[in-house]
Amino acid sequence: MSEAYFLSSAIALSPAQALQAALASGGARPAWVEEIYLLRASRSTLDPGLPQGCPVSAWKNEPGLDAFVLQSACRQLVLKERRMVALVQQARLLLMEHL
């Protein structure tokens, strides 16, 4: 039986910082990541601090796309096409103003 596992998560100001923090807390190295999926992002927002040497794809915010990309990444792991992939989701920062 093949399985895919969730390693770690983190919140940071940039995709690279979030990925580095998630990998560190899970005891993994950036060089182990074989593919990076950036959700709710565009190619123009790619962070130069992401691990080099692995494919990076950016996906804009579309209904149902997050689930599709997650399913695709899990499929790659289960079929042993990849050993480690990273999903990084960008969110808008909401600033709350106190009255």
- For the entire predicted model, the pTM comes to 0.77
Looking at residue 30, its amino acid is P
Residue 8 lies in a domain: no
pLDDT of residue 61: 79
Residues in contact with 35: Cβ distance below 8 Å, sequence separation at least 6, in sequence order: 54, 55, 56, 57, 73, 76, 82, 85, 86
The answer to whether residue 25 is domain-embedded is no
pLDDT of residue 99: 44
- The C-alpha angle with vertex 11 and arms to 9 and 17, in degrees rounded to 5, equals 95
Q: Which pLDDT does position 50 carry in this prediction?
A: 80
76 is in which domain, residue-wise? Answer: 30-89
pLDDT given at position 64: 83
- Output the pLDDT for position 96: 53
- Average pLDDT per run of 10 along the chain, which is 99 residues long? 70 84 88 88 67 83 85 89 86 54
Domain count of the fold of the chain: 1
Give a yes or no: residue 9 inside a domain: no
50 assigned to some structural domain = yes
Residue 76 domain-assigned (yes or no): yes
